[in-house]
Structure 1
Amino acid sequence: MSTSHRVEPAESEHRQNEANHLGNLGNVHLQLGAYQEAIQHHEAAICIGRELGDRQTLAHHIGNLGVAHFELGHHDDAERCCREALQLAREAHDRRVEAKQLWSLGNLALAKNQLDSALTHYQEALEIMRAISYPQGESTQLGNMALVLRKQGEFTEAREHYQQALDISRRLGDQQNEAIWLAE
């Protein structure tokens, strides 16, 4: 007789829903700036994801855990989370989460003033955003790249990237990002 616990399909679905709800609570706490609470909820969701062996769930929640660590200034923890989530997303063939983690790695590199690395990560994320037809993400990556290019003194190229980001935002009717790109 085996003593290992096998997760039955109905229980598995219940646990998956529980992980999703915990992750949603974590995201609410992220939005509220309650980063320690976000960490607690995402860690609980990660435990369930590991129990279920669900790479996609793990990639998503580990990535969000990385965001909370980034906001707290725990850049080493954030980078560890992003890299693990990136690998899991690639294994699960989840291109959107893969792009999100490259974007996060770009943000980390930018925070450390590693401009070439930031630009590379944003470019990789942009290529995926285009491949999966995610124009909002494409606009954001173009804006991120423009910011880096501006910091590098590449003003003409930065302006071109801002213009592309602005054009996409206008096409989408995204007035919030349109205002951001106009302000830049």
Structure 2
Amino acid sequence: MYLIGNLYNNRKQHQPALEYYQQTATLAESLGQQQNLANAQYMLGECYRNLEQKEAAISGYEQAVELYLKLGIKDWAVKALASIGSLCRSLKRYEEAIQVQEQRLGLVRELNDRVSEQSCLYSIGCIWNNRKEYQQAIEYLEQALNLAIELNDENKRANAYYMLAQCHKNLEKFKLAEDSAKSAKYLYQLIENTEWVINSQDLLHELTALTLIDETKKQYKIATGDYFIEEGIQLLKAKNTITAISMFEQGLNVYQENRNPSGQANALGNLGSVYRELRLFEKSVDCLSQAITLERENKNRVMEAFYTSSLNCRRQSSNLKTKFDFKTRKN
């Protein structure tokens, strides 16, 4: 019955093939033939997949995986997991797809199957990209790229570079995206994959336009002062406090030149926060006091209240420091 099912399946007559595989599974289960049952479940998954019955396909593959793992047949478990992962991704069940591919990755590493390992890493990277978790995607795609280089597989290298370009683009890291897209195009040209040479060239055109737009926005932000504040905030996150202060001060100067009181208050507020972290309380209070005055004159009650609240916190911190210093001297 299993062989008859194979004959129908090879002819792409999936419905009659399905019926024979179901009979095979029932008989194998009654006879306790675990491997035959696993094979039948795997082929049921294949048939359901070809019939676009994705949930039934996943169920068949999952039962096959369970049986293959019990029997220690890891290579076929890997194949079934690859199909499950692909189906879950097509159903946009990304978290489940990642879990399945991680399980597959662990098995192929046990088998020392470097080709399948590269495929797993690439698939996981693509799924993270689908989830719009681009930094996570990059981590896996870079591993996939390194392994493709090790395997000397130009097609896999090209694919990894192309997806890295997409991720960097989505993170607005256009220079990195451009470098990756150029590498992808070069490799696609080597293997004469015309379709993806064109796709890579289209991506490069898009990146050129985005870079121009980004540069225009940057110049506008520099002219208005916003650029310096945004850079200062990023520098603070990177623990580069001194350079952040310089950025905030440059922003303040531009806002003053442009007579932008809200911008000035924003820059002063950020400076006040930084100075507090540095325990320079007098500077912190001075900056926040100026910010309050500016927002009061601008009749922005919300931000005036915000800076007033921040100022009160700074003064409390300053008083505590003074009391502590006094007690220290007294002792």
Render the CA deviation track for 1:79-111: whole Å, top value 9, x for unaligned: 210110010010011112111111122122212
Aligned with 1:140 (options 150, 159, 163): 159
User: Is 1:46–2:65 an aligned residue pair?
Assistant: yes
Aligned with 1:116 (options 135, 147, 155): 135
Distance 1:182 1:46, change over 3 A: same
Render the CA deviation track for 1:42-98: whole Å, top value 9, x for unaligned: 335424522531222212321221110111011222121011001001001111211
Partner residue in 1 for 2:150: 131
Aligned with 2:99 (options 70, 75, 80): 80
Distance 1:15 1:95, change over 3 A: farther
The answer for unaligned runs of 5 or more in structure 1 is none
Tell me the amino acid that sits aligned with residue 65 of structure 1.
I
Distance 1:87 1:163, change over 3 A: same
Aligned partners of 1:180 and 1:15: how far apart in 2?
44
How far apart are residue 37 of structure 1 and its match? Answer: 4.8
Partner residue in 1 for 2:123: 104
Partner residue in 2 for 1:64: 83
For this pair of structures, how many residues does the alignment match? Answer: 173
Aligned with 1:22 (options 36, 43, 53): 43
- Higher-Rg member (1/2): 2
Tell me the amino acid that sits aligned with residue 43 of structure 2.
L
Distance 1:144 1:63, change over 3 A: same
Aligned partners of 2:48 and 2:179: how far apart in 1?
33
Distance 1:34 1:162, change over 3 A: farther
- Percent identical pairs in the alignment equals 16
Partner residue in 1 for 2:188: 169
Render the CA deviation track for 1:120-172: whole Å, top value 9, x for unaligned: 10000111111112211111100000001111111122111111111111111
Aligned partners of 2:166 and 2:144: how far apart in 1?
15
Given that 2:168 and 2:176 are in contact with CA atoms closer than 8 Å, whether structure 1 keeps it comes out as yes
Structure 1 runs (4+) deviating above 6 angstroms are none
The answer for unaligned runs of 5 or more in structure 2 is 1-30, 204-331
Given that 1:130 and 1:138 are in contact with CA atoms closer than 8 Å, whether structure 2 keeps it comes out as yes
Tell me the amino acid that sits aligned with residue 133 of structure 2.
Q
Relative to the length of structure 1, the TM-score reads: 0.79
Larger RCO (CA under 8 A, 6+ residues apart): 1
